[in-house]
Amino acid sequence: MHIFESTKKTNTVKFKKDSKFDLIDRAAKGEVEAAGLLAEGYANGTHECEHNDIKAMKWAKYAAGKGDPVGMKVLEQLKK
């Protein structure tokens, strides 16, 4: 017997929409809009994210590089 056992054939985790972990999950899968929102979250302390300019810059550069307007806005905000 295993300590952690799943009766489901697929292991999926659902997070509250647009929460920090939902955005991380979606951004890691390549969703550019989620990356922009994640950058915004880290820059402003929203979306259940702690304020972290380094993480904000990382996600903003990625999102802005892919043409996301929120990512571009955050990038400009962080440069000031």
Low-confidence ranges of the chain (pLDDT < 50): 1-6
CA 10 to chain centre: 23
Rounded to whole angstroms, the Cα distance separating 56 from 10 reads 32
Residue 11 has a pLDDT of 62
The answer to the question of residue 3 being in a domain is no
What letter would DSSP give residue 66? T
User: What pLDDT does 3 receive?
Assistant: 44
Instruction: Round to whole Å and give the CA distance between 36 and 52.
Output: 14
At residue 14, the pLDDT reads 78
Residue 32 in domain: yes
Measured CA to CA in angstroms, residue 13 lies from 42, 52, 54, 65 at distances of: 22, 25, 27, 29
Which pLDDT value is given to residue 71?
97
Domain count within the chain: 1
Return the CA Rg of the chain: 15
Tell me which residue range forms the domain holding 68. Answer: 20-79
Tokens 């295993």, located at residue = 2
